[in-house]
């Protein structure tokens, strides 16, 4: 909660200005003007260098992202499953929600999620707004409902006033969702590879460039391309041969998009994950069956591409994947105690 001897309006304005400045600083620092004049023509596209956001609503959404009042037991926030220190994921095989109940799949990263064409592994959520609603209703996440959330938030006079300042109709389900999504839209993580795509030849090393060349020549780029290096299509997990993780036993979560559509052709079909910040988000895949990035690369080459790759090639690809690591704007980082 925010406290100040100044008026809430002045404090909100001050925080909004600081956040806006931080967002602008982040983009200009990673993509200096001289580096933006010679973009490369590659299947992977750089992240946009400008953010169209309402800083007041973003600041409000940030407060909500770390607020445990969204959960039935008052102990779970969005940040529990999306740790900024772990690439926007949480480093666990499955994330505990209310009462410690585990979700069915490994938590995907919230970083750059705005660029995904669907949300969740099976694509059930078409938008970030849908994903918020699903998390609230899920017994394995927040296990509550909007009436309860709005009642709890409405008892916070400072927060209710902030909503009246940010939205004409104040604290509503639509506005709470909008503020959360506004904040999530700022969680964009420009990387060294983006700087290279924009023309800075020295942004990545010779070995990392070799790794990118291997990434393309082996065929990884067929699914992992575009702005988010993935996140823009569905694909069977196990194109060449079935993949059932470490134990070889099919679980309900392995059915993928079938759980949404109930079409046989959608069994084992998943949204292709973004590879941005992938070096930070182990364990990998929906079932967390790959514990290291090296193991994940090996699985992909064998099961998706039907190929084998020498250890040296796999190591080069891993080096390239590390160039996709970035960080959200400084103003988006959690405050002490959040």
- Reported as a single tens digit per residue, the pLDDT across 154-194 is 999 999 999 999 999 999 999 999 999 999 999 999 999 99
Helix (H, G, I), strand (E, B), or coil: what is residue 273? coil
Is the pLDDT assigned to residue 335 strictly greater than 80?
no
Long-range contacts of 255-259 (CB under 8 A, 24+ apart): 256/121, 256/122, 256/286, 257/122, 257/123, 259/122, 259/124
Tell me how far apart the alpha carbons of residues 271 and 116 are, in angstroms, rounded to a whole number.
9
Nearest to 44 by CA among 234, 195, 229, 216: 229
How crowded is residue 266: how many other Cβ atoms within 10 Å of its Cβ? 19
Please tell me whether 3 is known to bind a ligand: no
Query: For residue 102, what are the β-bridge partners?
Result: 96
27 belongs to an annotated ligand binding site: no
Q: Which CATH architecture has domain 8-33+51-189?
A: Orthogonal Bundle (1.10)
Q: Give me the half-sphere count of Cα atoms (radius 13 Å) on the Cβ side of residue 15.
A: 22
Residue 4 or residue 109, greater confidence: 109
- Contacts for 207-213 with beta carbons within 8 Å, 24 or more apart? 207/316, 207/319, 208/319, 208/320, 208/322, 208/323, 209/320, 210/316, 210/319, 210/320, 211/316, 211/317, 211/318, 211/319, 211/320, 211/321, 212/320, 212/323
Distance CA 115, CA 185 (A): 9
Q: Domain extents for the chain?
A: 8-33+51-189, 192-322
pLDDT at 49: 82
C-alpha distances out from residue 215 to 142, 180, 210, Å:
39, 35, 9
**CATH class, range 192-322:** mainly alpha
| pLDDT value at residue 52 | 87
Neighbours of 1 (CB within 10 A): 8
Residue of 282, 280, 277 lying closest to 295 (CA atoms): 282
| Angle CA 161–164–168, to nearest 5 | 175
| Banded pLDDT at 70 (limits 50, 70, 90) | very high
Instruction: Say whether 192-322 and 8-33+51-189 share the same fold.
Output: yes
| Residues 38-62 pLDDT 10s | 679 999 999 998 888 899 999 999 9
4-13, 92-101, 140-149, 306-315: least confidently modelled range: 4-13
Name which of 1-15, 166-180, 200-214, 283-297 the model is least confident about: 1-15
* Spatial separation of the C-alpha atoms in residues 42 and 196, rounded to whole Å: 11
Alpha-carbon span 152 to 158, nearest angstrom: 13
- CA separation for the pair 173, 152 (Å, rounded): 12
- Using alpha carbons, select from 50, 77, 76, 48 the residue that is nearest to residue 62: 77
Residue 16 exposure: Cα atoms within 13 Å on the Cβ side: 18
Closest CA to 321 of 335, 263, 330, 290: 290
The SS3 call for residue 83 is strand
> Per the annotation, does 82 bind a ligand?
yes
Whether 24 has a pLDDT exceeding 80, the answer reads no
Q: What number of other Cβ atoms are within 10 A of residue 125's Cβ?
A: 20
Count Cα neighbours of 277 within 13 Å in the Cβ-side half-sphere: 25
Residue 93: C-alpha distances to residues 78, 140, 291, 321 (Å): 17, 14, 9, 21
Binding residue per annotation — 224? yes
């Amino acid at each position: 909660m925010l406290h100040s001897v100044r008026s809430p309006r002045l404090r909100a304005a001050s925080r909004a200005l600081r956040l806006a400045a931080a967002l602008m600083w982040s983009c200009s620092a990673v993509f200096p003007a001289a580096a933006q004049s010679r973009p490369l023509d590659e299947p992977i596209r750089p992240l946009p260098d400008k953010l169209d956001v309402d800083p007041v609503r973003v600041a409000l959404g940030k407060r909500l992202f770390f607020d445990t009042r969204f959960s039935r037991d008052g102990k779970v926030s969005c940040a529990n499953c999306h740790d900024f220190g772990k690439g926007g994921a949480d480093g666990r095989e499955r994330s505990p929600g209310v009462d410690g109940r585990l979700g069915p799949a490994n938590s995907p990263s919230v970083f750059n999620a705005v660029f995904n064409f669907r949300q969740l592994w099976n694509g059930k959520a078409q938008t970030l707004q849908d994903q918020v609603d699903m998390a609230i209703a899920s017994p394995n996440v927040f296990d509550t409902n909007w009436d309860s959330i709005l009642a709890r938030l409405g008892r916070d006079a400072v927060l209710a006033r902030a909503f009246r300042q940010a939205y004409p109709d104040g604290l509503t389900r639509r506005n709470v969702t909008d503020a959360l999504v506004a904040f999530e839209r700022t969680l964009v993580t420009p990387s060294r590879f983006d700087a290279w795509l924009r023309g800075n030849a020295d942004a990545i090393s010779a070995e990392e460039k070799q790794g990118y060349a291997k990434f393309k020549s082996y065929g990884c780029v067929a699914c992992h391309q575009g702005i988010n290096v993935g996140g823009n299509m569905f694909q069977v997990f196990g194109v060449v041969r079935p993949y059932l993780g470490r134990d070889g036993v099919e679980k309900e979560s392995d059915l993928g998009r079938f759980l949404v559509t109930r079409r046989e052709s959608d069994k084992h079909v998943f949204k292709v994950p973004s590879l941005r910040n992938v070096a930070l988000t182990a364990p990998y895949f929906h079932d967390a069956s790959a514990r290291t990035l090296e193991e994940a690369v090996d699985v992909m080459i064998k099961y998706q591409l039907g190929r084998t790759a020498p250890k040296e090639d796999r190591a080069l690809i891993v080096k390239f994947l590390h160039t996709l690591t970035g960080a959200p704007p400084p103003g988006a980082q959690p405050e002490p105690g959040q």
